[in-house]
Amino acid sequence: MTQNLTNLGPKIALFEPDIPQNTAAIVRTCACLGAKLEIIEPCGFLISDKRFKRVVMDYMDEKDINFYKSADIFFKSKKDQRIILMTTKASISYTNFKFEKNDTILFGRESAGVPEEIHKLLNNKLKIPMESNKRSLNLASSVAIILAECLKQTKWI
């Protein structure tokens, strides 16, 4: 059974994404699972980049993506909403957190995460537990893991 949950469920936000293939894979994941995608610009690539287009295929529907020209604009638009930052610097595992259906889950740049001022701004910070000798997962894989858990907890899938 398919359903249209795009406007009801969680939102995935990407802070200044660097890698077109990762962003394209996240576009596809959000499209297939009914999550809204939000991109905080500037991106490290153009949407017309052939690497982006190759991965996104026909899943790119810009009406399902909100673009924000800056982090300031993004945070002002979210002033009354809960934002959860996914970061390797967090102490709380995503498995020990109660997601809500309208959460915005923020992921940092592949190359640098988010700036320290954003870390200070947000109360909810989560991590995906990993082996101690590993740095990080691929961004698209991380989004899929967290989005699946959020949808499971909020009973959207």
Quote the pLDDT of residue 20.
87
Question: Which residues of the chain carry a pLDDT beneath 50?
Answer: 1-6
Quote the pLDDT of residue 3.
43
Quote the pLDDT of residue 138.
94
The count of domains in the chain is: 1
In a domain, 5, yes or no: no
Quote the pLDDT of residue 136.
84
- 127 CB neighbour count, 10 Å cutoff: 17
Q: Which of 11, 20, 13 is nearest to 74 (CA)?
A: 13
Q: Which CATH number fits the domain that encloses residue 42?
A: 3.40.1280.10
In a domain, 84, yes or no: yes
Taking CA 11 as the corner, what is the angle to CA 156 and CA 54, rounded to the nearest 5 degrees?
A: 100
Quote the pLDDT of residue 2.
41
Tokens of 91: 């102490």
CA distances from 92 to 2, 53, 59, 84, 128 (A): 33, 35, 33, 11, 9
Phi, psi values for residue 50, rounded to 5°: -65, -30
Provide the domain limits for residue 123: 11-153
Q: Which of 84, 105, 119, 123 is nearest to 29 (CA)?
A: 105
Quote the pLDDT of residue 38.
96
Phi, psi values for residue 99, rounded to 5°: -75, 150
Quote the pLDDT of residue 61.
61
Beta bridge mates, 113 = 109
In a domain, 94, yes or no: yes
In a domain, 6, yes or no: no
Quote the pLDDT of residue 113.
93
What is the C-alpha separation between 106 and 132, in angstroms, rounded? 23
Strand order in the sheet with 36-40: 65-68, 36-40, 11-15, 104-107, 83-86, 124-127, 92-93
